[in-house]
Amino acid sequence: MKTETHDVVIVGAGLAGLSTAVFLALNGVRAVVIERNASTSILPKARGQNPVSMEMLRMAGITDAIRAARPPGKPAITSLVSESLTGRVIYDHIAHRPDFSRFSPEIPGMASQARAEEALLQRARELGVDVRFQWTCERIEENDERVALELRDLQADAAFQISAKYVVACDGIRGAIAGQVGIGHHGVGHLKSVTAVRFNADLSRWAGGNSMTIHYVKNPALPDGSGILVSTDYENQWVGNFSADPDRTPEETRRLIRILLGLDDIDFEVTGETTYNYSHRIADRLSSRRVFLAGDAAHVMPPTGGQGGNTAMQDGFYLGWKLAYVLRGIAGPALLESYDVERRPYAEIVCTWQAANLAERRDMKNLGTLLGEPIDHARMMFGYMCVDGAFVRSSGQTTVSAADPFEDPSRPTGMPGARVPYALLQAGADVINTRHQLAPRFQLYTADARMASQAQAIAQDKAVPQQVTVVDSVAPIQLDAGESMLVRPDGVVAWRGRSADALAQAYDRVLARA
Ligand SMILES: Cc1cc2nc3c(=O)[nH]c(=O)nc-3n(C[C@H](O)[C@H](O)[C@H](O)COP(=O)(O)OP(=O)(O)OC[C@H]3O[C@@H](n4cnc5c(N)ncnc54)[C@H](O)[C@@H]3O)c2cc1C
């Protein structure tokens, strides 16, 4: 049997797998990606990229592709709770959404999952990633040194083995790898079985012509009193979602679509349907010895709130640089332990948030009581602070509570473990946008020219990729005069302080160098 050896194998070429491949490659490591299907996703699933995802996609150089790929219509989103497409509006999510432009320079993208995956795939291939479609991973086994993968090339119907240093399991909701390395899951579990019916209808008269339209319909005439109507990537193609019923007839399905639309005499053509489950499920750990979980393999949430695909992509962003730095010898292997420590609390929160949204938008009151109140959208996206992980806490810095690991994004602290505040910094004649500075290297902000040259020497000595930006004032990033800030490649503040010695020690701690 043919055997290959690689540094990293990624199983699954969905949003999580392709994003991991891209961010690994940008940081200097080319993975092999194994995908069972013949192509990336073709079903209308996740829609939209939040500003945090757009910041990281900008670093990958694909925001233009994402923006160009938006579905037809005005570049705007409608998201309503209503009695039907044409009926009374109960709540307007967009009207009540905070102004995100205070927290990020990026506006949300509107590409579908299919288009986002295409853009990521193209970028991964440009970066030299080996993506193999119609390959399946049948089993993996890890020891302290390596991971053995038993694979099958489905086209050639041939067995194949790869020995890898690390595996990233991006194998989705039904992925088997977590179980094979002994990682269990917890959560509320199955929430609801839903049938998604695709249909074609010209609804332009009622839908307002935005590129993305979602109605969470509350109507006692629907099964369980609710359903979802959502536009897709294709002009006049819509999806109606309602509680699944295996005995439902095609006539009954058409009647339910009319209720979603609030139109008795509209002409439409049903083109297909899929039944799938809403679940709330989080992995007990995001990693074992040499295997990491990302995307739905790590956290499954109902679609209410649109963070499933976003969180899947973001996992790759937060994991990619760490894996690459360890493989390149820049960091010690213990850096990898921080992936679980930093990202699992976020996974727990975002899954619970979406399930709580489901409770509210689809009248599943029991679930709401179980999960508590949904937290503020902006706080969740922009205010997350790592409770622990690869950063050096400042003296006197209060420990973040695992129960509420957030800062108020309108008053960012710039503390280690938080996201580098979005700010415009004057650097001589240049204006530096902190969130556009994200790149596959560390970033030091300082107003002290001596510190700048000492930092250059430290990074050279430690062979750490680093850029130093000398700014006129560090006040906009919440530093006191004389302080400098070190930011990780994923935009998390790693350290802030005053001396070059402390900076050198911070690098050793953050990068787990013995
Ligand atoms: C109907 C629907 C609507 C949704 N709407 C939204 C939304 O509006 N916003 C949002 O953010 N999220 C939404 N989601 C969720 C979003 O689609 C998922 O969170 C996202 O697909 C997760 O990406 P992933 O890469 O982790 O997993 P997936 O996209 O499931 O990819 C996993 C891949 O792994 C492959 N694979 C599995 N096992 C193996 C194996 N052994 N060998 C080789 N390959 C394997 C699979 O073929 C698959 O391609 C929606 C989901 C559904 C189903």
Ligand 1 site, residue 440, Cβ cutoff 6 A:
no
What's the CA-to-centroid distance between 161 and ligand 1, angstroms? 25
The answer, yes or no, to whether any atom of ligand 1 lies below 6 A from the CB of 136, is: yes
Give residue limits of the domains in the chain.
2-70+109-187+280-344, 188-278, 383-510
Q: Which residue has the tokens 């891209």?
A: 22
What percent of the chain is predicted at pLDDT more than 90? 80
What is the model's pLDDT at position 97?
A: 81
Q: How large a percentage of the chain has pLDDT more than 70?
A: 97
Q: How far apart are CA 179 and CA 173, in angstroms?
A: 12
Beta strands in 127-268 (DSSP E): 130-133, 135-142, 147-153, 158-169, 185-200, 210-218, 226-231, 237-243
- Residue of 22, 137, 170 to test ligand 1 pocket, by largest number of atoms within 8 Å of CB: 170
Residue 35 Cβ < 6 Å to ligand 1: yes
- Give CA–CA dist 160/149, Å, rounded: 8
Neighbours of 174 (CB within 10 A): 8
Provide the pairing of β-strand 226-231 with 210-218.
antiparallel
Q: pTM of the entire structure?
A: 0.94
> CA-CA-CA-CA torsion for 173, 123, 314, 169, nearest 10 degrees?
40
Place of tokens 């290297």: 441
Question: Which range among 45-59, 270-284, 485-499 has the greatest average pLDDT?
Answer: 485-499
Task: Give the Å distance between the CA of 421 and the centre of ligand 1.
Answer: 31
| pLDDT band for position 363 (cuts 50, 70, 90) | low
133 lines ligand 1 (CB under 6 A): no
Residues 358, 241 contacting (CB under 8 angstroms): no
**Predicted local distance difference test score (pLDDT) of residue 46:** 75
Distance 454 CA to ligand 1 centre (A): 46
Of the pLDDT bands very low, low, confident and very high (cuts 50, 70, 90), residue 371 is low
91, β-bridge pairs: 81
Q: Is 300 helix (H, G, I), strand (E, B) or coil?
A: strand
**pLDDT surpassing 60 at residue 372:** no
How far is it, in rounded angstroms, from Cα 76 to Cα 360? 24
Give yes or no for residue 117 CB within 6 A of ligand 1.
Answer: no
Q: Is 91 in the pocket of ligand 1 (CB under 6 A)?
A: no
Q: Is 296 in the pocket of ligand 1 (CB under 6 A)?
A: yes
Task: Quick: pLDDT tens for 181-204.
Answer: 999 999 999 998 999 999 999 999
**Ligand 1 atom with least separation from CA of 300:** 19
Measure 38 CA to ligand 1 centroid, in angstroms.
15
pLDDT at 365 over 60: no
Per residue in 67-124, pLDDT (tens digit) is: 988 788 888 889 899 999 999 999 898 888 888 999 999 999 989 899 999 999 999 9
Q: Residue with the nearest Cα to atom 39 of ligand 1? A: 171
Mean pLDDT, the chain, whole residue set: 93
* Residue 313 alpha carbon to ligand 1 centre in Å: 11
Q: Where are the beta strands (DSSP E) in 322-462?
A: 424-427, 430-433, 442-446
Per the model's pLDDT, the better-predicted residue between 357 and 88 turns out to be 88
Rounded distance from Cα 352 to ligand 1 centre (Å): 18
From the candidates 91, 166, 216, 422, give the one annotated as an active-site residue. Answer: 216
**Interval 320-337 mean pLDDT:** 98
Residue 322 binned pLDDT confidence (cut-offs 50, 70, 90): very high
**Which segment of 22-31, 366-375, 387-396 scores lowest on mean pLDDT?**
366-375
325 counts as catalytic: no
Give residue 509's pLDDT: 98
312 lines ligand 1 (CB under 6 A): yes
The reply to whether ligand 1 has any atom less than 6 angstroms from the CB of 315 is: no
CATH topology of domain 383-510: Glutaredoxin (3.40.30)
Separation between Cα atoms, residue 148 and residue 133, nearest integer Å: 20
Interval between CA 297 and ligand 1 midpoint (Å): 9
**For residue 210, what pLDDT is reported?**
87
The pLDDT of 214-219, averaged and rounded, is 93
- Per DSSP, the three-state class of 464 is coil
Q: What angle do CA 29, 35, 39 make, to 5 degrees?
A: 110
Q: Please give the average per-residue pLDDT across 172-176, as a whole number.
A: 96
Q: Which residues face 424 on adjacent strands?
A: 433
Ramachandran bin of 364, using left for φ above 0, alpha for ψ from -120 to 50, beta for the remaining angles: beta
Question: Residue 362: its pLDDT value, please?
Answer: 62
Instruction: Express each pLDDT in 234-247 by its tens digit.
Output: 889 999 999 999 99
Equal fold, 2-70+109-187+280-344 vs 188-278: no
Q: Is the beta carbon of 79 within 6 A of some atom in ligand 1?
A: no
Cβ(288)–Cβ(164) below 8 Å: no
Most confident of 30-44, 341-355, 437-451: 437-451
Instruction: Tell me the CATH number of domain 188-278, given options 1.10.1740.10, 3.30.9.10, 3.30.300.30, 3.40.1410.10.
Output: 3.30.9.10
Asked if the 2-70+109-187+280-344 domain carries CATH number 3.50.50.60, the reply is yes
pLDDT-based confidence at residue 377 (cuts at 50, 70, 90): confident
Q: Determine the Cα–Cα distance for residues 277 and 243; give it in Å rounded to an integer.
A: 10
Residue 370 has pLDDT above 60, yes or no: no
pLDDT of residue 70: 79
What is the per-residue pLDDT for 330?
A: 98
Atom of ligand 1 nearest to the CA of 311: 11
pLDDT tens digits for range 246-269: 999 999 999 999 999 999 999 999
Residues paired with 430 in a beta bridge = 427
C-alpha pair distances (Å), 181 with each of 140, 149, 154, 192, 270: 8, 12, 24, 28, 42
Q: Which of 36, 136, 138, 231 has most ligand 1 atoms within 8 Å of its beta carbon, as the pocket-test mutant?
A: 36
Question: What CA–CA distance (Å, rounded) separates 55 from 433?
Answer: 11
Distance CA 375, CA 98 (A): 13
